[in-house]
Structure 1
Amino acid sequence: MPHDELRVLAHPLRMRLLSLLTGTAMSAAEAARELGDTQANTSYHLRRLHEAGLLEIAEELTIRGGRAKRYRHHPDSGRRLTRRHPGEEQLLTKAIAGELLRRASQRAPDRPASMTDAELWVAPEVWAGVLKQATALSEELHEAAQPPRTPGTVRVSASVALFELAETEARR
């Protein structure tokens, strides 16, 4: 089942759940309301994400005589997962690309934004510095994540994929 752990990210709802649960812990019912989905479907996907090690149980509550688990996403779990399954970053990349397309359709018009796409050659020390800055920026965003609709916050999209490319056969 090792490859199934990373394949869990292939479903678009699961990527949305990971983003949602970065800023707060939620039960299946709370997450379903926020995402406009059914509780049963959301619960299924939460269990799959938890089984893959991408969600942790933050607390268990008693609600109307039953037990509800509230899940939370720790952003570093994805790095641990891709390190365990080298070469399967393609699945994660495809899932992120799908999420980027979905979010881009919801971009607030006339609001500041930054978008870059490039395949470049740079000095190793420049690359190391940029990678360090991007990692710090990503960590800062994840640490600052708040529950949905928290007063004084804005909803943003952030997708960062920086990696060194392998030499092509023609260049070797």
Structure 2
Amino acid sequence: MRAISIICIITMLVALGCKTSRAFRGGAIGTGTGAVLGGVIGKTTGNTALGAVIGAAVGGAAGAVIGRQMDKQAEEIERQVPNAEVIHKPGEEGIIVNFKSGVLFDFNKTFLTPNSVKSVEELADILNKYPDTDVLIEGHTDSKGSDTYNLELSIKRAQTVSAFLAQKDIDT
């Protein structure tokens, strides 16, 4: 069991340390996690190795499917939402979508501009195709004004986008 755990940890470290697709990373993480859990379950039933193999297969398949869905979602956003930038951070899970500066809000305002409504609607259409996606909204401002004022403005902007997405059946 210890050997299986060490191999799985090494596999996950190699996978996470490389520039790889989310499908590959998800598969590697799922395989490693599944093997360890399967080995633990197998040990209680008297066959650690079989449990590890079954756990690795199930975990790897599930992780690869989830990772591929995330890759597809990122590709769709890049293709269909022209004002959005998809940021890939190596080794991190998730998709970061950054709208280009000045696209969503006018200076010192908390309501979406007419052009930004279209961009956020396009993003919502894609998010609705992937209902298991967890969405986190962050608001940002420029550096003009006090930190306290900008924090309040950032929060209000995030709430505006969140409310807009809620109207499109997206949970944030």
Q: TM-score, normalised by structure 2?
A: 0.24
Decide which structure has the larger Cα Rg and report it.
Answer: 2
Identify, as 1 or 2, the structure richer in strand: 1
Q: Taking CA–CA contacts closer than 8 Å with sequence separation of 6 or more, which of the two structures ends up with the larger relative contact order?
A: 1
Identify, as 1 or 2, the structure richer in helix: 2
